[in-house]
Amino acid sequence: MSDSSPASSRRHIELADDVLMPRRELAEDILGVTDKTASRMNLSTTYIGNIAYVPKNESLRVVAARVRRPNQRPPRKRAR
């Protein structure tokens, strides 16, 4: 019996509203960082069979919330 799906998609776990994918794959292929850096980002991680899995959409939301411009000023405090 032949399996036509790529090997990496076999490791993805479909959930109702998200996809669990290996943290290393998310880090290297999507974020462009190492697995060690992704582990320091404090993403919600689940270990299944000694492989760290992260929810793809939730992890991307967390990373996007941390993005800032290099010279972005802090928000001004209102004078009383």
Q: How far is CA 39 from CA 9, 52, 54, in A?
A: 21, 9, 10
Give residue 77's pLDDT: 83
The residue among 11 and 60 whose pLDDT is bigger is 60
Average pLDDT over residues 13-27: 93
Q: What is the mean pLDDT of the chain?
A: 86
Q: Cα separation of 77 and 45, whole Å?
A: 36
Count CB atoms within 10 A of the CB of residue 11. Answer: 15
55 and 44 in contact (C-beta within 8 Å)? yes
What domain range includes position 47? Answer: 8-59
Average pLDDT over residues 27-48: 93
64 part of a folded domain: no
70 part of a folded domain: no
1 part of a folded domain: no
76 part of a folded domain: no
33 part of a folded domain: yes
35 part of a folded domain: yes
Average pLDDT over residues 33-37: 94
**Sign for the pseudo-dihedral over CA of 56, 28, 7, 49:** negative
75 part of a folded domain: no
Give residue 67's pLDDT: 85
